[in-house]
Chain A
Amino acid sequence: MRRIELHVQGIAFWAPRLPGWERARAILRGEAAAPAEPAARPSPALLAPTERRRAPDTVAVALEVAAGACASAAREPRTLPSVFASTYGDLAVSDALCGQLARAPLETSPTKFHHSIHNAAAGYWAIATGCAEPYSALTAHQHTFGIGLLTAAVQTLSSGTAVLYVAYDIEARGPLATMARSRGILGAGLVLDTHPSDRSRMCLELSVEEQTGCIPTRARAQNEALVAGNAMASCLALYEALAEERAREIVVALPGAKALRLALAPRP
């Protein structure tokens, strides 16, 4: 199985108790305490004021980390193809839309319908940044983070250009919450490139393990507790390793009982 060697150029993270990468980095390294009160959801400055108010949580958090990852990589957002990964899409919008359809379907709101599509966050990102580069929006249930990261890596290598990767999930609401378990808001972003730059944070070597039995790496318990219950929480092991900035290998689950092995090394 071939290895994919990439460079992490930009990092972003947002969760109510890890609000923004700079704070999250210090908390994940054990150098700062997590805020006692969860932060209010981010307000996507990229959107027009009316859209900012109406933006569902998925759009708000995805745009926050997408913009953060591009800024940390010093890359112009409209130059980057992107991969957006979410286990469930906008669970709050799905709850509202299904409730509306059961009560009074003819009163379905066009805005809710726009927000219900799985590529809503990716679409709003492209509109807000004027990015004509392609995006993909995907899911693979409990393997969403790993397959999304691999897809972004494949796209980076295939196109030879930097790619933005954004992963997010939000809290489930209403009756749907009994079937789709997810709590809190979590957004995570990366900018990956085939070449190093003065913004390179870490070298990242990806390889797919075909054999079964690889156990996915978990973040330290006190860190994991900060995002517990979110459907995208398994991404935290990678961000903990990125915060530590030392050579380390971690394993992320992939579909088909495969695993994505990530070898991280500080930039030379």
Chain B
Amino acid sequence: MRVSPLTITSYTATCAAGAGREALARALASRRGGLTPCDFSATPLGTWIGRVPEIERAALPGDLAAWDCRNNRLAWYGAGRDGFTERVAAARRRYGAARIALVIGTATSSVGATEEGYARLLEDGQYPPELRRPIIHAPHSLTDFLRNALRLDGLSMTIATACSSSAKVFAHAERLVRLGLADAAVVGGTDSLCGSVLFGFHSLGLLSPEPCRPFDRDRRGISLGEAAGFALLEPQGEGPLLLGYGESSDAHHMSAPHPEGRGARLAILEALASAGVSAEEVDYINLHGTASRKNDEIEAQVVAELFPRRTFASSTKGWTGHALGTAGILEAVITLLALERGLAPGTLNTESVDCACGPQIRLKNEPRAIRIATSHSFGFGGSNCVLVFGRERLS
């Protein structure tokens, strides 16, 4: 199935490495990462995290106070970078609020607020009064907040497929626009640090005691990060393009990839076919590259098998940490920056590349003309999504 390309007329991302496109591009170019020793939980974890401290001081404006919590603050702060909310307001005037779909991905939404409620239960077993706001304890919290904050009134939904969530939002939005159910779409995601993911990944033995080193022979696991990212998709306009996408399931294990990378391979091939491009045409791949032992080994094998030597592939999680459900949009934004600015980011913190890696996986940044770029998101529950971006429509 060929995808109808959509123009990305505005996009932005905020994470520990930088808030907004300029800051993020500078961090990538200067190889300055955002990971710091974990100071988030009262119980020490001995790991590194990508924290966005700015949001802790910035409560939501009064009319949005009902949605106030860490995750929605991060979403609001992130949507405020790069003039994104203004671009959405202009689109709203152009298309009408009812004709702009809102498709948002998140792994944990504002579950941090629910955790806080449980940590601070009153003697009668009730939440403290300031946390008695049902919407922030529902997984749709983030999207409901954004619908109100951006004043959108079209079809809206939360996609929650763990680490592929905010990659799959591009696929859902493209289908809604192609079938005439929306004229344009706001996509994106936000995930913030919380106990569930910190202690959940700890329980799986997947947290690295040092800043994560994707594809390193001696990598020791992942670093968690928080992030917000958004994009405005329109049928026409100025900007890079969503050319295709591929979705698949591993059908293997809840938290370990398929040993032969079956789902990853299917998603990559489907994405290329939907865009009408061959593997030889892909100039840059932003890898899932979490720095977990298994993910990197299998992803490297699949990339080595499918792509030529010249393809430049890297993981940028050494800068940002793994933003889980928001990794898809965060790395889509990093991929678009590489495409538009002609600088392929390498892989941060990695010293010696694992022997499973082919020549595609690079450590150093490299100026490079990029015409076609892809981004991989492979998640818990075996849900995979690969996105294809380009600078122009293909004939």
Instruction: Judge: A and B partners, yes or no.
Output: yes
Q: Are the C-beta atoms of B154 and A256 separated by less than 8 Å?
A: yes
Q: Are the C-beta atoms of B254 and A123 separated by less than 8 Å?
A: yes
A35-70 interface bits toward B, Cβ cutoff 8 Å, 1 = contact, 0 = none: 000000000000000000000000000000000000
Q: Are the C-beta atoms of A175 and B125 separated by less than 8 Å?
A: yes
Q: Are the C-beta atoms of B263 and A255 separated by less than 8 Å?
A: no
- A75 within 8 Å of B (CB atoms): no
User: What is the chain B residue whose CB lies nearest that of A85?
Assistant: B157
Q: Are the C-beta atoms of A135 and B249 separated by less than 8 Å?
A: yes
CB distance from A12 to the nearest CB of B (A): 20
Q: For B252, give its contact among A4, A113, A119, A127 (CB under 8 Å).
A: A127
Which one of B54-62, B77-85, B160-168, B335-343 is at the interface? B160-168
**B interface bracket (residues with beta carbon within 8 Å of A):** 35 or more
- A21 within 8 Å of B (CB atoms): no
Q: Are the C-beta atoms of B155 and A126 separated by less than 8 Å?
A: no
Q: With a CB–CB cut-off of 8 A, which chain A residues contact B249?
A: 123, 126, 131-135
A95-106 interface bits toward B, Cβ cutoff 8 Å, 1 = contact, 0 = none: 001110110011
**In the assembly, what is the distance between CA of A87 and CA of B254, in Å?**
21
CB distance from B130 to the nearest CB of A (A): 13
CB distance from B322 to the nearest CB of A (A): 14
Which one of B27-35, B63-71, B110-118 is at the interface? B110-118
**Contacts of B357-376 to chain A: CB distance below 8 A:** none
Q: For B175, give its contact among A126, A155, A179 (CB under 8 Å).
A: A155
Q: For B251, give its contact among A132, A137, A139, A151 (CB under 8 Å).
A: A132
User: What is the chain A residue whose CB lies nearest that of B133?
Assistant: A179
- B172 within 8 Å of A (CB atoms): yes
Q: With a CB–CB cut-off of 8 A, which chain B residues contact A204?
A: none
**Contacts of B250-275 to chain A: CB distance below 8 A:** 250-255, 262-263, 266
| Beyond known contacts A106-B202, A114-B254, A119-B383: 18 more, CB 8 A cutoff | A2-B181, A87-B140, A89-B160, A102-B118, A117-B160, A118-B160, A119-B160, A120-B254, A127-B252, A127-B382, A136-B168, A140-B157, A154-B179, A175-B126, A179-B133, A179-B138, A180-B138, A255-B154
Q: Which B residues form the contact surface with A (CB < 8 A)? A: 1, 41, 43, 98, 107, 111, 114-115, 117-119, 121, 125-127, 132-135, 137-140, 143-144, 147, 152-162, 168, 172, 175-176, 178-181, 195-196, 198-204, 247-255, 262-263, 266, 379-385
